[in-house]
Amino acid sequence: MSNTVIQARELGFSYNSREVLRKVGFSLERGDYLGLVGPNGSGKSTLLKIILRILAPSRGEVTLFGEPLRDFRQWARIGYLPQKTDSFNPSFPATAGEVVALGLQPSAGRRKKAVDESLALVGAGDLRDKLIGELSGGERQRVLIARALVGAPEILILDEPSSALDPEARESFFGLLRELNESRPVTIVLVTHDLGNIGRYAGKLLYLDREVLFFGSFADFCRSEAMTSLFGAASQHIICHRHGPEVEG
Amino acid sequence: MSLAEFLGFAFIQKALFAGVFLALACSLLGVVLVLRRLSLIGDGLAHVAFGGLAAGLVLNVYPLYASLPIVMISSVGIWRLTERARILGDAAIGIVSSLGIASGVILVSLADGFNVDLMSYLFGNILAITGGEAASAPFIAAAVVAFMTVYQREILSVSFDEEFARASGIDHRKINRTIILLAAVVVVFAMKMAGIMLASALLILPAVTALQFALGFKATLVLAGSFGVLAVIGGVAAAFFLDLPAGATIVLANFCFFLLARIGAGLGRAKGP
């Protein structure tokens, strides 16, 4: 049985006749941890939305767990954290518990227990009965991470998940992701601008700038001459040094 | 006059029966519309209903039934403008409602001016509701309650974060389409209760009153439904005993609840946790 969980082939996407993605292709195996990086407007969020069938590509195709996207129905196997977590209506009448429960399929049993466990997992167990609008940015982010985790997904897709977290919460969050990735193992796709730190967490890297400029292991990224010419030797050294001396080329 | 005597009138019984069910439907749907920032859709669709009523009067079709399909089609039109033509929701409501009013005015002018029937729909009168209209009310309320119960997770998800809802495999188009079609039906019947000018208040006021209490989603729905129903009972009674227009009195009763909730929320905040 194939271990490929996400496969994108020759993806293209245009918005108002502007080409946002061009011939994007990559594949991830079960248990991979991918850092998706690139400058602003490089198409990272668009790529995620195509994988999640929120946007339809103008060319190419995506398969999830070997199934073409148009036929895929098992959305409970995927957890998602969108990018704009601060744009919600502050007076929205939903408790943190109600928001987390949105990540469960209607057929899921023991809902209350699952919600409580997921909130506890992200250190937000005491927030269950609080209104989502009353929470601070960091607390709200933790609740939304709990919503992404509550259904015990096999793939986690996170669009800049640490933006609202303080340094301590960020470390704890990335520790949790590493544990999920190693123990279950959950496949993780993490969009970030933090190229300097991504190597500490992700084993694979996809550098996107409308097209794939690099896709491979972090160690290969550090040895890549193409990346040296893109970032400059000094920047590449800083990125790879933070990852640890064993991967420096 | 005693309460028993008041309740003994057949027109009061019909008004309370229809009013309670319609208020429940309006209030529950109102919570979703307010949260989706579609509060003014009630106003827009009521304006469209004016065109439908005028068409009914000109064509000699019962006005309420003539306006129902027109308002439903228009509600889908608003939804399509926002979904497909990338026009913002309030602008789409503005386009469709002005089209409804303009069509109504032209139809009225072709029929040699306003007549009494059309004026009665402008301001509504629940005390004059017919047996057939009253009999429709529980079915409308049942449809709204069933939709809100069966699709509660989907409605909450789409209202809170549509992008996440879509990534969860929720058919957001089906949910949005159903919300807007139910709103169309509810507005047409609410028009009989409070008139074209005030129908949207029956959707908005109980919802924003319930939102003042800062509770969860289910609790907010229960509170909104309760305020809507109480306002109809109080409004009909006040209109009867004080000889006031029923629709406007129901709306003012709703506003009184809103005011009290605002004051209560203010006092609660001042007192602290």
Weakest mean pLDDT among A234-243, B133-142, B157-166: A234-243
| A249 pLDDT above the threshold of 50 | no
pTM above 0.90, yes or no: no
User: Phi and psi of B219, rounded to 5°?
Assistant: -60, -35
Torsion of CA B261, B262, B264, B269, to 10 degrees: 140
The beta-carbon neighbor of B164 closest among A80, A97, A132 is: A80
Residue A126: pLDDT band (50, 70, 90) is very high
Contacts of B154 (CB under 8 A, 6+ apart): B165, B170, B171, B175
Locate the chain A residue with the closest alpha carbon to B34: A92
* A39 to A82, A207, A234: CA distances (angstroms): 18, 9, 18
Listed residue (A248, A139, A166, A244) closest to A201, CA to CA: A244
> What's the ipTM?
0.83
- SS (HEC) of A97-160: HHHHHCCCCCCCCCHHHHHHHHHHHCCCHHHCCCEHHHCCHHHHHHHHHHHHHCCCCCEEEEEC
The answer to whether A24 faces chain B, any CB pair under 8 Å, is no
Active site residue A160: yes
The DSSP output letter for A203 is: S
Contact yes or no for A184/A20 (Cβ under 8 A): no
pLDDT average, residue stretch A146-175: 85
Q: Contact A93/B211, CB-based, under 8 Å?
A: yes
Q: Which of A160, A168, A179, A211 is catalytic?
A: A160
Rounded Cα distance between A148 and A103, Å, is: 6
Show residues of chain A in contact with B210, CB under 8 Å: 93
Contacts of B160 (CB under 8 A, 6+ apart): A88, A92, A94, A99, A102, A132, B35
Q: In a 3-state reduction of DSSP, which class is residue A181?
A: helix
**How deeply is B234 buried, as exposed, middle or buried, from its count of CB atoms within 10 A (0-12, 13-18, 19+)?**
middle
Contact yes or no for B129/B75 (Cβ under 8 A): no
Strands A155-159 and A78-81: parallel
Q: What is the per-residue pLDDT across B157-176, written as a single tens digit (0 to 9) for each?
A: 999 998 899 999 899 999 99
The answer to whether A238 faces chain B, any CB pair under 8 Å, is no
The answer to whether B216 faces chain A, any CB pair under 8 Å, is yes
The answer to whether B211 faces chain A, any CB pair under 8 Å, is yes
Contact yes or no for A37/A193 (Cβ under 8 A): yes
Sequence length of chain A is 249
Residue B13: pLDDT band (50, 70, 90) is very high
Amino acid at B43: D
- Which residue out of A88, A92, A105, A143 would a mutagenesis test of the B interface target, given it has the greatest number of B Cβ atoms within 10 Å? A92
pLDDT of residue B208: 96
pLDDT of residue B81: 85
| B120 pLDDT above the threshold of 70 | yes
CA distance A247 to chain B (A): 35
Q: Contact A82/B164, CB-based, under 8 Å?
A: yes
Terminal Cα-to-Cα distance of chain A (whole angstroms)? 34
Contact yes or no for A143/A100 (Cβ under 8 A): yes
Listed residue (B135, B129, B236) closest to B190, CA to CA: B129
Q: What is the per-residue pLDDT across B92-103, written as a single tens digit (0 to 9) for each?
A: 888 888 998 899
Count Cβ neighbours within 10 Å for each residue of A49-86 and write b for 16 or more, e otherwise: bbbbbbbebeebebbbbeeebeebeebbbbbbbbbebe
